[in-house]
């Protein structure tokens, strides 16, 4: 393996400077569950690795007013263990819970899941459905970007040189709001999503959906936000007709690949089914939240 330099700064400023000053490829290290595998296999050949875990705030979950802020390098186990976050965003926690095994979740972060640039990343659809923003710091300062705008395609990100995701901001939760994430894999665990569906919604006192966001993973070159699917259920009580519209809109958004793990037709079909089921779970949760 060629020589790789490693640094573990204790401020965001130093991390950004190190990344920006690197002449060749520089990589942020969070949990390393993707990056280390890629280093060993030779798929990633950075000249510099910047470990962000010693920077205060990169690991941990805090509430700022009525918003949750999740540090970018927070491992899955900490996210799953947070009861208040789980009550407000059970779908996000479901997505995180599905990443790898207990060992993987001791390290794996949602920043790494997003910035690895896989359309099948399990935590991303629920984050998008929830309306999460990624807080990004770079040489030109800080910007907050909707999570759906961070990944452009497989391994392609909208991050500029020197930029780091430092945290995720979750919006305030109105009463009677909840979410759900479901994925289909060919095995019972430890596999890559063939389809993933995240739905977040709010209902009024009569059970009518007043707001919704729907996101699909593994059915296109990037994780999709599907506004047409949300529109299909807003104003309804998720009766049978609304569920049918939801399924149709979800299927219409899919542009999947055809591979040994799922044909185009299969992925499109499953995307409709999972979206419907995730919406019904989110509805059930929202009624009592």
Ligand X SMILES: Cc1cc2nc3c(=O)[nH]c(=O)nc-3n(C[C@H](O)[C@H](O)[C@H](O)COP(=O)(O)OP(=O)(O)OC[C@H]3O[C@@H](n4cnc5c(N)ncnc54)[C@H](O)[C@@H]3O)c2cc1C
Q: Is 156 exposed, middle or buried (0-12, 13-18, 19+ CB in 10 A)?
A: exposed
Closest residue by Cα to residue 97 from 79, 115, 113? 79
135 versus 243: smaller Cβ distance to ligand X? 135
157 versus 248: smaller Cβ distance to ligand X? 157
- Of 92, 126, 165, 232, the residue at the interface with ligand X (CB under 6 A) is 165
Closest residue by Cα to residue 12 from 146, 167, 132, 168? 167
> Would you count residue 289 as binding ligand X (CB under 6 A)?
no
CA 89 to chain centre: 12
Binding characters for ligand X, 167-196, by CB under 6 A (x = yes): -----------------------x------
- Of 12, 98, 271, 286, the residue at the interface with ligand X (CB under 6 A) is 98
> Would you count residue 121 as binding ligand X (CB under 6 A)?
yes
- One-character DSSP codes across 66-133: TEEEEETT-BHHHHHH-HHHHHH-HHHHHHHHTSS-HHHHTT-BHHHHHHTT-TT-TTHHHHHHHT-E
From the list 81-89, 98-106, 203-211, 251-259, the region that binds ligand X by CB under 6 A is 98-106
29 versus 268: smaller Cβ distance to ligand X? 29
**Residues in contact with ligand X by the rule CB under 6 A:** 27-35, 37, 52, 72, 98-100, 104, 107-109, 111-113, 115-116, 121-122, 164-165, 190
């Amino acid at each position: 393996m060629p020589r790789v330099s490693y640094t573990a700064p204790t401020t965001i400023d130093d991390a950004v400077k190190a990344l920006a000053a690197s002449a060749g490829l520089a990589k942020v290290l969070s949990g390393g569950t993707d990056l280390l595998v890629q280093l060993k296999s030779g798929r990633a050949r950075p000249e510099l690795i910047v470990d962000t875990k010693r920077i205060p705030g990169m690991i941990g979950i805090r509430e700022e007013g009525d918003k949750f802020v999740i540090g970018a390098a927070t491992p899955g186990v900490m996210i799953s263990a947070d009861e208040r976050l789980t009550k407000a965003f059970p779908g996000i926690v479901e997505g995180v819970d599905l990443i790898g095994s207990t060992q993987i979740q001791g390290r794996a972060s949602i920043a790494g899941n997003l910035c690895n640039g896989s359309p099948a990343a399990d935590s991303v659809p629920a984050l998008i459905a929830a309306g999460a923003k990624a807080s990004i710091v770079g040489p030109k300062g800080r910007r907050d970007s909707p999570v759906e705008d961070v990944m452009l395609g497989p391994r392609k990100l909208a991050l500029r040189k020197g930029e780091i995701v430092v945290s995720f901001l979750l919006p305030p939760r109105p009463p009677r709001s909840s979410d759900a994430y479901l994925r289909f894999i060919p095995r019972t665990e430890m596999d890559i999503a063939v389809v993933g569906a995240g739905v977040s919604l709010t209902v009024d006192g009569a059970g009518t959906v007043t707001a919704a966001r729907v996101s699909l993973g593994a059915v296109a070159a990037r994780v999709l936000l599907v506004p047409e699917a949300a529109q299909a259920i807003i104003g309804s009580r998720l009766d049978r007709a609304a569920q049918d519209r939801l399924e149709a809109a979800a299927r219409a958004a899919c542009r999947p690949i055809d591979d040994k793990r799922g044909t185009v037709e299969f992925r499109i079909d499953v995307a409709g089914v999972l979206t419907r089921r995730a919406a019904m779970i989110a509805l059930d949760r929202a009624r009592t939240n």
